[in-house]
Each structure stands twice: as structure tokens, then as C-alpha cells.
């Protein structure tokens, strides 16, 4: 009963805890508040509607979290934050805006809307032990089957600047044989396609030679120099010209609580992607959520088509494509513009199917 009038969303509660954490000097309290903030952000239900707080909220922050979540209004919440804050001005809010909390994603998945995650057919952009994933190709493929996919594109990292554990030419050939073996045995359940997550180098070229891209779906991404504040338009435009690029992966390079993402003239980049037929990725890894909905809307208006990615590094992470679905829905993008909702032949109509 006493919980009914609560109005604070998990997003507001988490942001208050992040702000409090940042206002305190480095040490135990700051760390505990940060842990509490992430626990709230990742909680699968709105805490206003539940009695129990997640077990991951540190004990020493429970009174603070309870006090904040009992605030009767946003103004009351702000007043509490002002009262509890430490000596430093909080400064990281810009790296946390525009992200969906786990509760918002869950709420979206449970409600009726034009994008239905149950219609997803293709599971795209995930990693195996061959690069920085924790599971075998077989385990990831079985995970895709369990989620109801009929086709999947595995995209391990290439061995470049960004990933020392990435695939070299021999690793790519080995994986190709493993994929063929799976398709012979289980291809009727799930057709596996080989992809690669290639690095876009400083000059916009890729770290994978052209001949190595034959028959492989390349998702190209920037992983280095992301903290620099220069303009990335030319680098991205050059990458879009590279032969064999299927999608631009996590285009903004933003990371929750750490980086706001790169600067670029996005309208120019999106128009070029649409003209070249390069897909834009909607990365559903909860700490990435890249592109953000306002940019997704701009991309859709520029004529782009989209690829939903879980960026899974563990079979459990394959469910992150529902976060990508929620982002697409928030931007008003329909199933027809997203390749994952198509059967394989249609999704890869203009590509080689390995």
C-alpha cells in the first residue's frame, strides 16, 4: 500500500545515485553509490512497483536508495540529492542521457506495439571464443536456436589494433569450416553465416584486406581514439566506400557512463550509407544502445535500413536484441526497414550467402 504513490522511475533514481556518487571523493562511499546506481539501472522492473530492492544494491546504500525512491515528485527527488550530495560537482550526466533502463526495455517487450521481438528471424553481431566471447560457436548457435532465430551472423573481431585476440586469416578459415559443419548438421534449424567485426582505421580503411572479405559479412566499427573530440565524418564516409561493408556497427561509439560518442555530421553519413546500401546497426548491448533514438529517426528519414545487433559475448547476451528492438520502436522504425525481421534470402539478397 505505502508503495502505491511512488513516482520515481528507475532512470531518475539511477541518475540521482550517479550524481551523488560523482559528488563524493574516490573511496568506499562513492563506489557503493555507483554500484547502487548500476543495480537500479539494470533492475528488470520499476522499483516504484516492487517492494524488494535488487540484491545487487550494496547494504550501506540501502537507506539512501529507500529515501530517494520514496520521493513524492521529481522536485522532491532533486531536493534530496542536493541535501545528500558531497563536495564535488557531478559532471557525467552527458554520458548517461538517452539510454533505456532494463525496466523500460522489459516494459516495452511486454506491451503491444508494431515491432514484435517474436518476429525476429536473424540473430546478428555476436562473438565467440575465437575472439573475445566466452562461449563456443556451437553454444552461441544453440542459443540463437533457443531464441527462435532461423539465421544468424557471427561476427568475431579481426586481429587489429582494437582486439589482440581477434581472428587472423587462419582463424577465419577454421571458423568457416566449423560454420559449414554446423550448417550440414543443423542448417534447417539455423543457418549460420560468417561475418567479421572489422576495425575502421584512422584513415577510414579497414584492418581486413579486401580478399579476406569475400563471402564474409563485414560489420565495420571504430574502437580506437573514441575519446578524441575531433570530427569523424570523413573517416566514416571513407569506411562506407570500402568494398564488402555490410553494416556500420555501433556508429556513435558511445558507452554508458563513460563516453558520449563521437562527433560527426550524421546527416551526411546517413545519406551516404543509404546511397551505398550499407546498413546502420542498432546495437542493443545495454551499455552501448547505439545509435540513440534521435539519431535513428534522422537515419530513417535519410533512407537508411537497419541491422539489430545483440553484440553478445555470452549466450545470455543474445537477448539484448530486445533492447535494440525497443530503441528502433522508440525511433518509430518499422519491421520492413530492419533486416532481422526478414527471412535469410531476403535479408542477404544482395550479398553472398556462405
Using CB under 5 A as the binding rule, whether residue 199 contacts Zn ion is answered as: no
Q: C-alpha cell of 203?
A: 584513415
Q: Which of 89, 69, 98 is nearest to 21 (CA)?
A: 89
Using CB under 5 A as the binding rule, whether residue 221 contacts Zn ion is answered as: yes
Give the binding range for Zn ion (CB under 5 A) out of 201-209, 238-246, 255-263, 311-319: 311-319
Give the binding range for Zn ion (CB under 5 A) out of 14-22, 108-116, 195-203, 297-305: 195-203
- Report strand pairing: 217-221 vs 245-248: parallel
- Closest distance between Zn ion and the C-beta of residue 329, in Å? 22
Nearer to Zn ion, 270 or 285 (CB): 285
Q: What is the DSSP string of 201-236?
A: -TTS-BSS-GGGGTT-EEEEE--SSTT--SB-HHHH
Nearer to Zn ion, 43 or 312 (CB): 312
Give the binding range for Zn ion (CB under 5 A) out of 183-191, 196-204, 261-269, 322-330: 196-204
- List 311, 322, 338, 339, residue binding Zn ion (CB under 5 A): 311
- Closest distance between Zn ion and the C-beta of residue 249, in Å? 6
Give the binding range for Zn ion (CB under 5 A) out of 165-173, 208-216, 238-246, 310-318: 310-318
Nearer to Zn ion, 22 or 311 (CB): 311
In angstroms, rounded to a whole number, what is the distance separating the alpha carbons of residues 268 and 202? Answer: 19
Q: Could you give the string, one character per residue 228-267, with x where binding to Zn ion holds by CB under 5 A and - elsewhere?
A: ----------------------------------------
Tell me the residue length of the chain. 354
Sheet of strand 151-157, all strands in order from the earlier edge strand to the far edge:
122-124, 151-157, 191-199, 217-221, 245-248, 279-283, 306-309
In angstroms, rounded to a whole number, what is the distance separating the alpha carbons of residues 128 and 197? Answer: 12
Q: How many CB atoms lie within 10 A of CB 321?
A: 29
For Zn ion, the binding residues (CB under 5 A) are 197, 221, 311
Amino acid at each position: 500500500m505505502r508503495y502505491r504513490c511512488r513516482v520515481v522511475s528507475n532512470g531518475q533514481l539511477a541518475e540521482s545515485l550517479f550524481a551523488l556518487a560523482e559528488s563524493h571523493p574516490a573511496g568506499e562511499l562513492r563506489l557503493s553509490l555507483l554500484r547502487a546506481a548500476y543495480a537500479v539501472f539494470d533492475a528488470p522492473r520499476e522499483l516504484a512497483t516492487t517492494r524488494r530492492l535488487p540484491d545487487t544494491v550494496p547494504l550501506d546504500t540501502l537507506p539512501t536508495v529507500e529515501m530517494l525512491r520514496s520521493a513524492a515528485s521529481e522536485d522532491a527527488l532533486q531536493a534530496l540529492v542536493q541535501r545528500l550530495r558531497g563536495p564535488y560537482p557531478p559532471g557525467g550526466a552527458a554520458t548517461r542521457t538517452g539510454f533505456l533502463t532494463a525496466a523500460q526495455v522489459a516494459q516495452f517487450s511486454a506491451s503491444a506495439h508494431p515491432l514484435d521481438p517474436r518476429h525476429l528471424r536473424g540473430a546478428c553481431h555476436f562473438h565467440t571464443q575465437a575472439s573475445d566471447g566466452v562461449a563456443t560457436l556451437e553454444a552461441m548457435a544453440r542459443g540463437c536456436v533457443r531464441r527462435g532465430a532461423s539465421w544468424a551472423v557471427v561476427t568475431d573481431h579481426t586481429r587489429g589494433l582494437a582486439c589482440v585476440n581477434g581472428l587472423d586469416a587462419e582463424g577465419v578459415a577454421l571458423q568457416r569450416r566449423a560454420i559449414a559443419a554446423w550448417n550440414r548438421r543443423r542448417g534447417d534449424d539455423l543457418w549460420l553465416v560468417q561475418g567479421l567485426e572489422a576495425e575502421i582505421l584512422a584513415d577510414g580503411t579497414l584492418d581486413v584486406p579486401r580478399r579476406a572479405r569475400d563471402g564474409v559479412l563485414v560489420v565495420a566499427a571504430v574502437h580506437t581514439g573514441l575519446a578524441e573530440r575531433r570530427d569523424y565524418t570523413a573517416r566514416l564516409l571513407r569506411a562506407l566506400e570500402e568494398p564488402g561493408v555490410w553494416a556500420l556497427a555501433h556508429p556513435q561509439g558511445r558507452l554508458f557512463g563513460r563516453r558520449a560518442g563521437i562527433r560527426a555530421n550524421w546527416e551526411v553519413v546517413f545519406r551516404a550509407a543509404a546511397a551505398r546500401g550499407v546498413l546502420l546497426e542498432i546495437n542493443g548491448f545495454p551499455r552501448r544502445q547505439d545509435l540513440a533514438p534521435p539519431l535513428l529517426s534522422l537515419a530513417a528519414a535519410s533512407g537508411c535500413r537497419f541491422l539489430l545487433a545483440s553484440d553478445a559475448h555470452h549466450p545470455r547476451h543474445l537477448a539484448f536484441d530486445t533492447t535494440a528492438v525497443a530503441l528502433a520502436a522508440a525511433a518509430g522504425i518499422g519491421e520492413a526497414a530492419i533486416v532481422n525481421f526478414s527471412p535469410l534470402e531476403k535479408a542477404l539478397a544482395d550479398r553472398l550467402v556462405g
